[in-house]
């Protein structure tokens, strides 16, 4: 009898352990890929300057919304191991684009002529139609500066840019059950009008969001489609011998799956010899298709070049290994990234800073720098600041409306060059969070960056 009881207890313990591990995997698995922010429409790239790093350019959903008209800005993420990620904050918003009024939908990016270009779509004030915008930066993480929209593209929703082996750029776009492609001029500012083709009839059930990649000399056009004209979207693909077709429809590579959003949109990229399909779902928001999250799954080709269908699961790319994503906000990018500088300025004469400079000039009490952090849900994070100071000082550090250390101010020590300090756990609210730093003493202070490390806890 005792032996039976022991076996029964062992069985119960084993079952509980399995359930615990399943729970841990659900909380810490790699899908959703990044869990602190609602993001969608991932455009994945590996740039020639650093082939060890993978970049994602994404749209951003506002927490609590039930539609896509509130989409206002874009984010950039990077990783070197598919486990540890960095969110660089807002890199472009509707406020930065003089011709736009709303609807910051899907984007892409390209490296060309030693610059990084963001290809985006927003609604134009003057016409009320989508335009395909162009913004530029000299670093892959931005922020990006608007330089207008691509000429010759009408209703330019969901743009994707492909550069062929001969360095010829091509643009693909479409929405509302239409899809187009065209060759671009070398400066990317307009399409070559005579090259424009409508691909709609070649792409079974196409609805929006085209993406082109090349595999073994053939061109693969992937896109979200509506099966029998009904939602939710599924991911299809077609193959051609030429970048502008004709394309032959091949089938679905991501069929409908549990917990997906009504939409899907993705990209396919080769990273460290492995092919990956990036897309989005509604796993983080319990099925709210307007609050989407990033997803990633390995993609495999059959010997005949067709794609094996993907069934997304929580293990993702690392088969359940925990993922981390820090929010990394360069102080010098405060203003273009949704923050502010008041009484302070950006400089770059003091060596050892990260990014393109630092913020200094805290000459008068309450001169400040303010950066923007955006998150999906209320959450806790450790706040770190990298700074340099020639004497001890006090500062007001605010996270949202809460001031660290109250009216007495936070104490900072004199440094020997640059130092990163941990100010401890802070509370972030769903949506926009302003991180504010202002000196209470006339000290030579330089602020390099702010870093937020989300604190993950099992539920």
Close Cβ partners of 223 (under 8 Å, ≥ 6 residues apart):
174, 179, 203, 206, 207, 208, 209, 210, 211, 235, 236, 237
Find how far residue 397's CA is from the centre of its chain. 27
Find how far residue 438's CA is from the centre of its chain. 29
Q: How many residues does the chain have?
A: 459
Close Cβ partners of 373 (under 8 Å, ≥ 6 residues apart):
89, 327, 329, 428, 432, 433, 435, 450, 452
Burial, 308: exposed, middle or buried (Cβ in 10 Å; 0-12, 13-18, 19+)? exposed
CA nearest 121: which of 78, 77, 173? 173
Give the C-alpha separation, 298 to 277, whole Å: 6
Give the C-alpha separation, 175 to 231, whole Å: 14
Give the C-alpha separation, 120 to 365, whole Å: 40
Give the C-alpha separation, 220 to 250, whole Å: 10
Give the C-alpha separation, 392 to 267, whole Å: 49
Is 139 in contact with 123 (CB distance < 8 Å)? no
DSSP state of 184: B
Positions marked catalytic: 41, 208
Is 381 in contact with 455 (CB distance < 8 Å)? yes
Give the C-alpha separation, 51 to 290, whole Å: 33
Is 150 in contact with 171 (CB distance < 8 Å)? yes
Identify the helix (H) or strand (E) that includes residue 18.
Answer: helix 2-28
The three-state secondary structure class of 50 is: coil
The three-state secondary structure class of 219 is: strand
Structure tokens given for 171: 């643009």
């Amino acid at each position: 009898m005792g032996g039976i009881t022991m076996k029964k207890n062992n069985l119960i313990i084993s079952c509980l352990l399995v359930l615990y591990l399943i729970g841990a995997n659900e909380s810490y698995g790699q899908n959703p890929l990044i869990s602190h922010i609602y993001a969608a429409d991932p455009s994945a790239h590996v740039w020639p300057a650093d082939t060890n790093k993978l970049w994602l350019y994404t749209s951003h959903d506002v927490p609590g919304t039930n539609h896509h008209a509130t989409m206002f800005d874009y984010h950039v993420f990077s990783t070197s191991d598919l486990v540890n990620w960095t969110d660089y904050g807002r890199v472009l918003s509707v406020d930065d684009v003089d011709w736009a009024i709303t609807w910051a939908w899907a984007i892409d990016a390209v490296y060309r002529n030693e610059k990084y270009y963001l290809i985006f779509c927003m609604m134009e004030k003057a016409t009320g139609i989508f335009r395909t915008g162009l913004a530029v930066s000299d670093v892959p993480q931005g922020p990006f500066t608007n330089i207008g929209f691509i000429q010759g593209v009408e209703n330019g929703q969901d743009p994707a840019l492909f550069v062929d082996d001969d360095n010829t750029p091509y643009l693909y776009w479409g929405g509302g059950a239409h899809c187009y492609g065209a060759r671009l001029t070398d400066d990317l500012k307009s399409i070559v009008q005579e090259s424009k083709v409508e691909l709609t009839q070649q792409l079974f059930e196409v609805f929006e969001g085209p993406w082109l990649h090349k595999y073994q000399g053939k061109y693969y056009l992937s896109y979200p489609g509506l099966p029998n004209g009904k939602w939710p979207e599924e991911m299809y693909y077609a193959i051609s011998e030429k970048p502008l077709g004709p394309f032959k429809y091949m089938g679905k590579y991501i069929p409908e799956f549990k917990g997906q959003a009504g939409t899907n949109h993705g990209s396919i990229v080769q990273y460290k010899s492995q092919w990956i399909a990036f897309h989005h779902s509604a796993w983080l928001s319990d099925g709210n298709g307007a609050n989407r999250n990033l997803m990633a799954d390995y993609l495999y080709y059959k010997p005949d070049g067709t794609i094996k269908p993907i069934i997304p699961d929580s293990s993702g790319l690392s088969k359940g290994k925990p993922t981390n994503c820090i929010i990394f906000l360069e102080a010098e990018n405060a203003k273009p990234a949704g923050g502010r500088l008041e009484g302070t300025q950006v400089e770059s004469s003091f060596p050892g800073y990260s990014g393109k400079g630092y913020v200094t000039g805290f000459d008068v009490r309450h001169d400040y720098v303010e950066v923007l952090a955006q998150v999906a849900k209320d959450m806790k994070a450790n706040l770190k600041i990298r700074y340099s100071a020639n004497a001890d000082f006090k500062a007001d550090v605010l996270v949202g409306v809460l001031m660290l250390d109250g009216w007495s101010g936070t104490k900072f020590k004199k440094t020997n060059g640059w130092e990163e300090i941990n100010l401890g756990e802070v509370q972030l609210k769903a949506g926009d969070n302003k991180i504010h730093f202002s000196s209470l003493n006339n000290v030579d202070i330089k602020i390099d960056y702010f870093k937020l490390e989300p604190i993950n806890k099992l539920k």
